[in-house]
Amino acid sequence: MNNQYKYHRATLRETVSFIGVGLHTGQLSKVSLKPCVDKRGIYFVRTDIQSTQADIDASWYNVSDTTLSTNLSNQHGVSVSTVEHLLSALIACGIDNVRIEVDGPEIPIMDGSSEVFVEAIRSVGKSYLKLPKQGIWIEKPVVVTEGDKYAILMPHSVPRVTMCIDFPDTVIGSQCYSVTLEGEKYFEDVAYARTFGFADQVEALKKRGLAQGGSLINAIVIDGKKIVNPEGLRVENEFVRHKILDVVGDMSLAGAPIIGHYYAHKAGHSLNQKLLRKLFSETSAWTQTSLEQGREMFANHDELYGGDYIKQALNVVPIKKVAS
């Protein structure tokens, strides 16, 4: 990146398009990412709907369903589903503004990761706007729980995601992983990690109208202790890395990059959504400002808040399982 633009909002230099099948609807659709220079940020437009009300902001308050994927709906009931992998790619590439046109109800799943989106976005490159890039700095821990699952946002000077998952008696088992989202880390550690599902649940999902487009081409399928895909895994802990990919996409619905440490055990789209709602209901827990100003204001963030907040936050959650 050209350093002189590091505090500016960015859009794509050119339009890029993808055609593919939706994981849940099974419908073929085309998505085009178009440069956009206003302050609106990231938004979707359903081009198959002839209406002036077919646009949906990529925002936490538009989340309408989190069953297996993150789905958005506007106030007129127009929706778009499975947005998380594309949003993950966009935020990881530093894109703040883009108009996403889609001619169907679901974003195509491609290979089940965000790699196809990332490669296309990076191949056209970024164009910088004369608008300051924003950040949301976490100032106090925000915690949500659901049974033995929890998700926490806590102060940290750079965006970081730590996730633990636990699927006993399967090939996944217990996996924890932590990624600091700086430099090339997302592209090296996360972007290629595919979504996954369980063979014994596929029939039930298909009966409920879900996973209609799911196949070994776009998901890792697990049968107990075995991986069904003949090619196996791309990396040994691909599952937990994919959960981190999902977190990056879900947290992008805050509307600006969250500068803090996301720390979770067994969290998914539903808990991520609850976490954002809780965050925005606790106005003393965060500050939104320009990246430039924030870097100065919170320069000694780690010294001030440090590891104590991890301990404090973990005191209020049921499981004290700590990832390294």
For binding to Zn ion (CB under 5 A), which residues are involved?
195, 246
Which of 14/119 has CB closer to Zn ion?
Answer: 119
> What is the phi/psi pair of residue 29, to 5°?
-145, 160
- How near is the Cβ of 252 to Zn ion at its closest, in Å? 13
- Inter-residue contact 221 to 227 (CB < 8 Å): yes
Q: Which residues, in sequence order, are CB contacts of 311 under 8 Å at separation 6+?
A: none
- How near is the Cβ of 35 to Zn ion at its closest, in Å? 26
- Inter-residue contact 127 to 249 (CB < 8 Å): no
Q: DSSP string covering 277-306, please?
A: HHHHH-GGGEEEEEHHHHHHHTTTHHHHHT
Helix %, strand %, coil % of the chain (to 5): 30, 30, 40
**Cα–Cα distance between 86 and 63 in angstroms, integer?**
15
- How near is the Cβ of 67 to Zn ion at its closest, in Å? 13
**How many residues are listed for the chain in this entry?**
324
- How near is the Cβ of 274 to Zn ion at its closest, in Å? 17
269 is catalytic: yes
Q: Kindly give the residue spans of alpha helices, DSSP state H, lying in the chain.
A: 84-92, 115-124, 185-189, 199-207, 238-251, 269-281, 291-297, 301-305, 308-315
Which of 238/246 has CB closer to Zn ion?
Answer: 246
What per-residue string of b and e applies to 294-317 under the rule 16 or more CB within 10 Å gives b? bbeebeebeeebeeebbeebbeeb
Which of 35/112 has CB closer to Zn ion?
Answer: 112
Which of 82/289 has CB closer to Zn ion?
Answer: 82
Residues forming a β-bridge with 151: 144, 264
- How near is the Cβ of 75 to Zn ion at its closest, in Å? 26
Which of 70/97 has CB closer to Zn ion?
Answer: 70
Return the sign of the alpha-carbon dihedral for residues 84, 152, 266, 191.
Answer: positive
Which of 129/264 has CB closer to Zn ion?
Answer: 264
- The half-sphere exposure of 34 on its side-chain side, counting CA atoms within 13 A, is 12
Among the listed residues 8, 156, 261, 269, the single catalytic one is 269
- Catalytic sites, residue numbers: 269
